[in-house]
A = this chain, B = another copy of it.
Amino acid sequence: MSTIAVDLHITDAEWEVMRVVWANTQVTSKEVISTLEGKMDWKQATTKTLLGRLVEKGALNTEQEGRKYIYSANIEEKEAVRSFSNDIFDRICRKNVGNVIESIIKDHTLSFDDIQRLEEILEMKKAFAVEEVDCQCAEGQCDCHLHHHGE
């Protein structure tokens, strides 16, 4: 199963480039450059550097097309987003995952479809829900260890 470079770290600047590639499937550096020129106010050289670094770290593939390259993503956006979003959960106590999701939901606009879909997922999650999520934090990094229930 492709876990190809899921753990590679894509920086903010690089992510801008990745988005262009993901949105277009196949792109030339020229296209990436012009797409980002407006938004990022970068010089061409900056985009070139980023493309180079992304190829280097395996996030992008290149295919020689005549004298130039055609860039394509080597990792799926979904996977990259997932890996990135999991970083949050490494920063908090497992017990708070629910609260964070709650706060995320509150902070964003959702469509009726989104809501329905999420409701379905939650329904399914019930089959695997636990009475209490257990804290995986190191001692001293969260206070779960303090309040043992029914004590």
Contacts and interface: CB of A to CB of B under 8 A. Distances in A.
A85 B104 contact: yes
Main secondary structure, interface of A, reads helix
A101 B91 contact: no
Contacts of A84: 88, 91
Interface stretch (A42-50, A59-67, A129-137): A129-137
Is the interface on chain A under 10, 10 to 19, 20 to 34, or 35 or more residues?
35 or more
How many copies of this chain does one complex carry? 2
Contacts of A39: 138, 141
A5 interface: no
A35 to B, nearest CB: 4
B101 A104 contact: yes
A95 to B, nearest CB: 8
A126 B114 contact: no
A56 interface: no
Given A98-B114, A100-B85, A110-B133, A105 B92 contact: no
Closest 10 CB pairs of A and B: A98-B114, A35-B140, A19-B141, A39-B138, A85-B88, A112-B129, A97-B108, A23-B142, A23-B143, A111-B133
Given A35-B139, A35-B140, A99-B114, 9 more contacts: A35-B141, A85-B88, A98-B113, A101-B104, A101-B118, A110-B133, A111-B129, A111-B131, A119-B122
